[in-house]
Every structure is written in structure tokens, then in C-alpha cells.
């Protein structure tokens, strides 16, 4: 068998009904199961190489999930949302999110999710086009007197740390019954 047909067989797995966030987990386990079942390892099945393969997959998942957590939360956690004001949808989206200054590095590092305001306003728009609607959204914000929030990547990461510190202090106070 050639490599192409083998890869096609590994990746052409039927997806059962499940929550979308579990699909990558299912596909990963399905690929490993099929590789074991067909004895078609890319690396040798010697024990030490198998351990190294599992370690590399685990390391990749830890790094990827850590990156995703920081990127997805830097535009959400530090925002203050006042549910009692009963604002319109547009204003609520702008109050609950902020952008990170665009740059080639920020665009690459965040997968264009540094345009989080545009992502919330236009969820079906391809991410690489968000920069095109930024001037339109900014002019709409100016017209209606709504703040368009944008910050640096370092400030966004610092906001996450500050928010976690505040949450930790609240939890500690509740735990110690202060």
C-alpha cells in the first residue's frame, strides 16, 4: 500500500453524533486505534519509540491547548459586562470583547482572532477578511458614541493574569471565610 491510501484510511473515519468540541478527541483516538489495528505505524512499534510518540502527542496537545486558552481568553476575560443596563446587541458585543492591535505577528499568532470585535459582529466571515471591515465598524462606533477597544498583545496577556489573580483572591477569601 502507498502512504496516500494509508493516510486516507486513517482520516476517513465516520463521525458519530457528539458535541463539536469532542470531534478532535474522537478523530485522534480513531487514528491511533486504526494504526494499532492495522499495525501500520509511521515509527517502529518498539516500546521506547511508542513511548516517545505518545509523549510527543501529549506535548503537542498541552502546547496547543495552552495557546488556544490564552488566545481565546485575551479578548474576553478582562471585559466588564453590565447585564443590568439592557443594551442593544451591537453595544453588548462591543462591551464584551476587544481587539488586539493588528500586526503580521499578532495576525499569525492569533489566527486573525485579534479582530475579536469583528469576529463577534460577523461570525460567518472568513477570519482573514476581518481587517477589511475594521474601518466600517470603527465609523459605526464613532457615529453612535460607542467605545471601540483595542490593546496590545502584552496588555491583553497582562489582563488575563490580573483577572486570574482577582478570581483567585475572591476564591481564597471565600475559602477562608473572610
pLDDT tens for each residue of 22-50: 666 676 777 777 777 776 655 445 556 66
- Say what the pTM is: 0.63
Cα–Cα distance, 83 to 17 (Å, whole number) = 34
Higher pLDDT pick, 161 / 3: 161
Looking at residue 110, what is its pLDDT?
A: 85
pLDDT of 111: 84
Q: What is the distance between the alpha carbons of residues 30 and 32, in angstroms, rounded to a whole number?
A: 6
Cα 75 to Cα 103: distance, rounded to the nearest angstrom: 16
- Measuring CA to CA, how many Å separate 98 from each of 15, 113, 120, 153? 35, 10, 10, 11
What confidence tier does 7 reach under pLDDT thresholds 50, 70, 90? Answer: very low
Give CA–CA dist 168/155, Å, rounded: 20
Rounded Cα distance between 130 and 112, Å, is 8
C-alpha dist (Å) from residue 7 to 11, 50, 70, 102: 6, 19, 32, 37
Q: First CA to last CA across the chain, in angstroms?
A: 67
18-22, 90-94, 130-134: lowest mean pLDDT where?
18-22
Q: What is the pLDDT of residue 21?
A: 55
Whole-angstrom distance, CA of residue 18 vs CA of residue 35: 23
The Cα–Cα gap between 14 and 27 comes to: 9
Q: What is the pLDDT of residue 2?
A: 37
CA 143 vs. chain centroid, Å, equals 31
Q: Summarize the confidence of residues 78-85 as an average pLDDT.
A: 68
The mean pLDDT of the chain is 77
User: pLDDT grade, residue 107 (50/70/90)?
Assistant: confident
Amino acid at each position: 500500500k502507498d502512504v496516500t491510501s494509508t493516510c486516507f484510511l486513517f482520516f476517513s473515519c465516520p463521525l458519530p453524533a457528539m458535541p463539536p468540541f469532542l470531534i478532535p478527541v474522537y478523530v485522534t483516538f480513531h487514528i491511533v486505534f486504526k494504526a494499532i489495528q492495522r499495525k501500520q505505524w509511521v515509527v517502529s512499534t518498539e516500546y521506547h519509540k511508542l513511548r516517545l510518540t505518545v509523549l510527543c502527542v501529549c506535548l503537542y496537545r498541552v502546547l496547543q491547548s495552552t495557546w488556544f486558552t490564552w488566545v481565546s481568553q485575551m479578548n474576553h476575560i478582562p471585559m466588564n459586562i453590565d447585564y443590568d443596563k439592557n443594551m442593544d446587541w451591537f453595544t453588548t458585543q462591543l462591551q464584551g470583547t476587544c481587539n488586539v492591535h493588528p500586526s503580521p505577528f499578532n495576525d499569525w499568532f492569533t489566527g486573525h482572532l485579534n479582530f475579536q470585535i469583528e469576529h463577534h459582529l460577523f461570525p460567518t466571515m472568513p477570519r482573514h477578511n476581518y481587517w477589511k471591515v475594521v474601518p466600517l465598524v470603527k465609523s459605526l462606533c464613532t457615529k453612535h458614541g460607542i467605545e471601540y477597544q483595542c490593546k496590545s498583545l502584552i496588555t491583553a496577556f497582562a489582563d488575563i493574569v490580573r483577572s486570574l489573580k482577582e478570581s483567585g483572591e475572591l476564591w481564597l477569601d471565600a475559602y477562608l471565610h473572610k
